[in-house]
Amino acid sequence: MMAYQTIFTELSEGILTVTINRPDKLNALNQQVLEELNQILDTIYTDNSIKGVILTGSGPKAFVAGADISGFLSVSSAEGSVLAKKGQDIFFRIENCPKPFVAAVNGFALGGGCELAMSCHYRIASENAKFGQPEVNLGLIPGYGGTQRLTQLVGKGRAMELMMTADMIDAAIAHQMGLVNHVVPSEELIIFTRKSLEKILSKSPVAIGKVIAAVNAAFDHTKNGFNEEIKLFGECFGTDDMKEGVTAFLEKRKATFSGK
Ligand code: COA
């Protein structure tokens, strides 16, 4: 794997932990972090030894405290759109990755950090995690998919309120809203997230990839989700994984999936 300056990667038993590592800036997403995320995504998509991904932030304080605000004053309107498009494209690659991506939110997940967590397939938070889309404080709006994904995850009214008030919410409220699936003590965050992923990795990787594609189709206006489900369901019948899963059930043994 390549050497990165702003992210750490660690591969263990098929699970790649990607840690955003700019703790002195609360892991804010500058262009280098985004570029390195994009590069590690190339590896995640192509490297067969990577089966699933945990995305987290370094240090005890922040997951990611947002896009890096320090360069914003020199950005023109046209350049702003380019920035949003670039970020959105990378986050789409996370969302549409056929391998499971879980965010382990270990502190502030604000602005682009909340958007990054929302691009993952689901989120697990530590008790000290804080979420928010505070862009209106800066005369901005979310640009990395936040207006869309927050609305999908918590509903229109709550999303509107969060984005218009810029309020920060704690992990318990985020859990209540459905923004995160579980809240655990900080010291258990990575272990808990790993266990969750390990369970997924014991299933058919082909089927997991198709669950991701089918659920995402519900939010893709260019697709009919039900038709997509019919197509993906049918495809399963042509896979070794389906033959193995069904055979193992009938033979009353545990399935060993090849992912083919
Ligand atoms: N972009 C650039 N730098 C950031 C940043 C961001 N989004 N968030 C934090 N930082 C930097 C701070 O400037 C500070 O750098 P410095 O030590 O060189 O001055 C460092 O990270 C630590 O942050 P600090 O603000 O001192 O920590 P805090 O505990 O007082 O406050 C926050 C934490 C998260 C409440 C605060 O940093 C914050 O509001 N950040 C911006 C959040 C935001 O608006 N994000 C949306 C961006 S679109």
Give the domain CATH number at 81. 3.90.226.10
Whether the CB of 111 sits within 6 Å of ligand 1: yes
Q: Whose CA is nearest to atom 15 of ligand 1?
A: 25
Q: With respect to residue 2, please indicate whether it lies within any of the assigned structural domains.
A: no
Question: What's the total number of domains in the chain?
Answer: 2
> Which of 10, 79, 127, 135 does the annotation list as catalytic?
135
Whether the CB of 134 sits within 6 Å of ligand 1: yes
**Atom number, ligand 1, closest to the C-alpha of residue 130:** 34
> Is 115 known to be catalytic?
yes
Q: Tokens 């920060």, residue?
A: 168
Q: In the structure encoding, which two tokens stand for residue 93, read together?
A: 């690659």
- d(CA 234, CA 193) in angstroms, rounded, equals 31
pLDDT computed for residue 164 by the predictor? 98
Q: With respect to residue 13, please indicate whether it lies within any of the assigned structural domains.
A: yes
Whether the CB of 26 sits within 6 Å of ligand 1: yes
pLDDT computed for residue 3 by the predictor? 86
pLDDT computed for residue 112 by the predictor? 98
Query: Could you tell me the distance, in angstroms and rounded to a whole number, from the CA of residue 189 to the centre of ligand 1?
Result: 23
- In a shared domain, residues 114 and 137: yes
pLDDT computed for residue 23 by the predictor? 95
Q: With respect to residue 174, please indicate whether it lies within any of the assigned structural domains.
A: yes
DSSP 135-175: GGGGT----SSHHHHHHHHH-HHHHHHHHHH---EEHHHHH
- d(CA 1, CA 101) in angstroms, rounded, equals 18
- In a shared domain, residues 197 and 211: no
- Cα 58 to Cα 6, 26, 122, 258: the distances in Å are 10, 8, 19, 34
> Which of 10, 13, 35, 115 does the annotation list as catalytic?
115
pTM for the predicted model, two decimal places: 0.98
Percent of the chain at pLDDT > 70 equals 100
pLDDT computed for residue 132 by the predictor? 98
Q: Whose CA is nearest to atom 47 of ligand 1?
A: 66
* Residue 132 main-chain phi, psi, to 5 deg: 180, 160
- In a shared domain, residues 212 and 190: no
Mean residue pLDDT across the chain: 98
Please classify residue 130 by burial: count the beta carbons closer than 10 Å to its beta carbon, then call 0-12 exposed, 13-18 middle and 19+ buried: buried
99 close to 44: Cβ distance less than 8 angstroms = yes
pLDDT computed for residue 20 by the predictor? 98
Whether the CB of 139 sits within 6 Å of ligand 1: no
What tens digit of pLDDT does each residue of 132-158 get?
999 999 999 999 999 999 999 999 999
Query: Could you tell me the distance, in angstroms and rounded to a whole number, from the CA of residue 217 to the centre of ligand 1?
Result: 35
Query: pLDDT at residue 29 above 90?
Result: yes
- d(CA 98, CA 257) in angstroms, rounded, equals 16
Whether the CB of 115 sits within 6 Å of ligand 1: no
Q: Whose CA is nearest to atom 29 of ligand 1?
A: 61
Whether the CB of 162 sits within 6 Å of ligand 1: no
**Domain housing 148:** 7-201
What tens digit of pLDDT does each residue of 70-121 get?
999 999 999 999 999 999 999 999 999 999 999 999 999 999 999 999 999 9
62 close to 14: Cβ distance less than 8 angstroms = no
- In a shared domain, residues 167 and 59: yes
